[in-house]
């Protein structure tokens, strides 16, 4: 048996003459949690649908849980929990009725016991009689996770499972994900736009315009971006960002709450820029770890420049 839960190579998907996914390789080891990031329309959902056999790639091949994504979609579906983007339920059924319904779709044996266990596992027993439509976003997502994990899948493909869910509920949801991987060895491949969620993953894959821009741990990606960042806080920093515009050595200057982050790839030039702005001594700069978001933006811009050169 392969040690990889997902092993796909050269995936391409065209819709008409539009390229949604271009030459994507993914090798996700069993038992790991991988985050899938990228701007709207970058091809995340399309890639996930190809991995679980719902959509045939235009080119490329591969396996999920050792089964061929083109010829063995049924085998993959039996062993995978796929939470589609904007997962929805029968609003006027209770939590229990919804889970039972899904259980019947999966033809689960011992339905009553399986539903009892699934509800208990996800802390839903006390709420099982509540109407799904009346639940808050966080509880809806927990119910969705119950529904897609009741058949004990080995692989979870989650497409933006926490979009629009508040921070506490997102944290609870992630605790659940980590419990499933620790206790049951489940592999999780999860798309998200939240950087704090990306930081909870073993590895991250970042797509832009259908192509894989980078992949690795948070530390690897930040190191590979080659960025250096200085941060200043306090009342004196408002309007400072403008001074950095077009300054040599500065690629980006943006506010994060009450702090200003200034980034660039040439450490000496960046330091000179920061020193110039703090000449009057009113602003104190400290070097900080660049944010993941900054790393993605810098690498995407660079990939875009490369692509233009390649086309010329």
Residue from 197, 201, 232 nearest 216 by CA: 201
Residue 40 binds ligand ATP, judged by CB under 6 A: yes
The region of 14-22, 62-70, 72-80, 150-158 touching ligand ATP under the rule CB under 6 A is 14-22
- Does the protein bind ligand ATP through residue 167 (CB under 6 A)? no
- Region near Mg ion per CB under 5 A, out of 45-53, 205-213, 260-268, 271-279: 45-53
Q: Rounded distance, CA 222 to CA 46, Å?
A: 26
Taken as a whole, the chain contains a residue count of 312
How many amino acids of this chain bind ligand ATP (CB under 6 A)? 12
Identify residues 56-85 at the interface with ligand ATP (CB under 6 A): 85
The answer to whether the CB of 187 falls within 8 A of the CB of 154 is: yes
Hey, which residues between 72 and 91 contact Mg ion (CB under 5 A)? 85
Least distance between ligand ATP and beta carbon 191 (Å): 7
136: which DSSP letter?
-
Question: Per CB under 6 A, does 164 bind ligand ATP?
Answer: no
Q: Which is nearer to Mg ion, 21 or 186 (CB)?
A: 21
Judged by beta carbon, residue 41 or residue 234, the one nearer ligand ATP is: 41
Assess 20 for contact with ligand ATP (CB under 6 A). yes
User: Is 211 a residue that touches ligand ATP (CB under 6 A)?
Assistant: no
Least distance from C-beta 42 to ligand ATP, angstroms?
A: 4
Q: Which of residues 23 and 116 has its CB atom nearest to ligand ATP in the complex?
A: 23
CB under 5 to 8 A by kind: which of ligand ATP, Mg ion, none does 74 bind? none
Cβ–Cβ contacts within 10 Å for residue 127, how many? 16
Q: Is 45 in the site for Mg ion (CB under 5 A)?
A: yes
User: Which option in Mg ion, ligand ATP, none does residue 96 bind, with CB closer than 5 to 8 A by kind?
Assistant: none
| ∠ CA 30-212-78, rounded to 5° | 35
By the rule CB under 5 A, 300 interacts with Mg ion: no
- Residue 299 beta carbon to ligand ATP: minimum distance, rounded to whole angstroms: 17
> Cα Rg for the chain, rounded, in angstroms?
23
Residues at the site binding ligand ATP, with contacts judged by CB under 6 A: 15, 18, 20, 38, 40-46, 85
Residues at the site binding Mg ion, with contacts judged by CB under 5 A: 44-45, 85
């Amino acid at each position: 048996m392969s040690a990889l839960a997902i092993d796909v190579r050269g995936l391409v998907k065209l819709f008409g003459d539009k390229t949604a996914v271009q030459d994507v390789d993914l090798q996700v080891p069993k038992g790991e949690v991988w985050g899938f990031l990228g701007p709207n329309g970058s091809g995340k959902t399309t890639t996930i649908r190809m991995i679980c056999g719902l959509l045939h790639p235009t080119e490329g091949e591969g396996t999920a849980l050792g089964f061929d994504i083109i010829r063995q979609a049924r085998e993959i579906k039996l062993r995978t929990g796929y939470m589609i983007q904007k997962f929805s339920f029968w609003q006027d059924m209770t939590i229990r009725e919804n889970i039972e319904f899904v259980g019947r779709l999966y033809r689960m044996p011992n339905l009553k016991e399986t539903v009892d266990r699934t509800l208990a596992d996800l802390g839903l027993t006390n709420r099982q009689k509540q109407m799904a439509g009346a639940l808050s976003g966080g509880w809806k997502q927990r119910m969705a996770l119950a529904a897609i994990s009741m058949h004990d899948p080995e692989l979870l493909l989650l497409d933006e499972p926490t979009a629009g869910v508040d921070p506490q509920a997102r944290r609870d949801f992630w605790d659940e994900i980590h419990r499933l991987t620790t206790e049951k060895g489940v592999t999780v491949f999860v798309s998200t736009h939240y950087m704090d969620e990306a930081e909870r993953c073993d590895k991250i894959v970042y797509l832009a315009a259908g192509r894989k821009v980078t992949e690795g741990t948070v530390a690897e990606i930040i190191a590979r971006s080659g960025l250096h960042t200085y941060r200043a806080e306090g009342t004196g920093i408002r309007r400072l960002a403008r001074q950095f515009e077009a300054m040599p050595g500065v690629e980006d200057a943006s506010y994060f709450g009450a702090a200003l982050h200034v980034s660039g790839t040439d450490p000496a030039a960046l330091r000179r820029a920061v020193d110039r702005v703090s000449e009057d001594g009113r602003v104190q700069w400290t070097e900080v770890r660049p944010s993941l978001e900054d790393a993605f933006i810098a690498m995407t811009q660079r990939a875009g420049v490369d692509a233009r050169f390649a086309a010329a």
